[in-house]
Amino acid sequence: MHELGVVFHMVDLLEDIGRERNLSRIGKVVVDLGEVSGVVTELFGDAWLWASDKHDLLRGAELEIHEIEAATVCNACGHTYRTVDYGRICPNCGSPDTELLQGNELNIREIEAE
């Protein structure tokens, strides 16, 4: 379960931010999670609950996840489409010359702290 490793990295980052800004507690973390990031939302949430409870700064902090829809553009015809529906083959022209525009990210969008 690599979700736990991702959460450990995020916890380390949040603790660094907490030290830099002299925060006593983080109450909420909002993340953008790409639809094809490879991170399973439910497992990520479970890992967050377990790991955040082990750190005073994060104990009880809410995790809010915003899923980012995956979108791909075809370099051959310029058509943009939902990646999950069609994969790497453009549904407009059939070209495999495509590029993922969004949907593989995992970003901390917002931190609510005290």
Delineate the domains of the chain, giving CATH numbers in brackets: 2-69+103-113 (3.30.2320.50)
Helix, strand, coil in percent for the chain, rounding step 5:
30, 30, 40
| Coil, helix or strand at residue 104 | coil
pLDDT tens string 17-44: 999 999 999 999 999 999 999 999 999 9
Of the chain, the percentage scoring pLDDT greater than 70 comes to: 99
What's the pLDDT at 2?
A: 87
